[in-house]
């Protein structure tokens, strides 16, 4: 593919741009039961998707959706997660999901005050997560710490992403766990 990105060398919007969000919603909401997705290569000269949407049903019964695109002009606007529930609503946004923009619940919690100091400034879509992750890996290898995450968590997110691609390709809902 001249001047484009070949599928064998790179991922698309879901695998590259949205993978951390898939991790986050799995961590926040729990394991996914099924997905239904649509993807498209709308403007980029690439073999993978530059835009996609996925509807998600979690094992808890919660429903949600994720939208991702590489086509924002003139730059990335933000990454955000909004959770809307019958007893509370939370919106986390900003350049790197680094700002708690809305936090409102029917019942108060002693930890609610911590929200006021949880946001931080960053100039990068990567925030500060990568250096902390690499520090933990090095500390674990030195025997100085326990792993803060493991491969099983990553595999759950990867399985959700694979199911998303299968759904978009086959035009049908895909249930998890995948049947290998």
pLDDT at 121: 86
Nearest to 135 by CA among 149, 125, 115, 119: 149
Contacts of 141 (CB under 8 A, 6+ apart): none
Hey, what are 114's tokens?
A: 């911590």
Q: Which domains does the chain possess?
A: 13-76+125-175 (3.30.360.10)
What's residue 147's pLDDT?
A: 92
Average confidence (pLDDT) over 130-140: 90
For 51-68, how does the pLDDT look when each residue is reduced to its tens digit (9 = 90+)?
Answer: 999 999 999 999 999 999
Cα separation, 8 vs 14, in Å, equals 15
């Amino acid at each position: 593919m001249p001047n484009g990105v070949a599928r064998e060398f790179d991922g698309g919007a879901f695998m590259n741009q949205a993978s951390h969000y898939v991790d986050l919603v799995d961590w926040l909401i729990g394991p996914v039961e099924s997905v239904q997705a649509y993807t498209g290569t709308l403007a980029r000269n690439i073999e993978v998707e530059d835009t996609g949407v996925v509807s998600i049903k979690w094992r808890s019964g919660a429903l949600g959706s994720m939208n991702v695109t590489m086509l924002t002009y003139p730059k990335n606007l933000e990454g955000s997660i909004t959770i809307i529930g019958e007893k509370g609503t939370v919106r986390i946004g900003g350049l790197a999901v680094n700002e708690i923009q809305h936090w409102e619940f029917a019942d108060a919690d002693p930890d609610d005050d911590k929200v006021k100091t949880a946001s931080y400034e960053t100039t990068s879509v990567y925030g500060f997560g990568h250096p902390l992750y690499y520090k933990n890996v090095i500390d674990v290898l030195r025997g100085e710490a326990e792993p803060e995450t493991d491969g099983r968590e990553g595999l759950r997110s990867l399985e959700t992403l694979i199911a998303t691609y299968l759904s978009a390709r086959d035009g049908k809902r895909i249930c998890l766990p995948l049947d290998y």
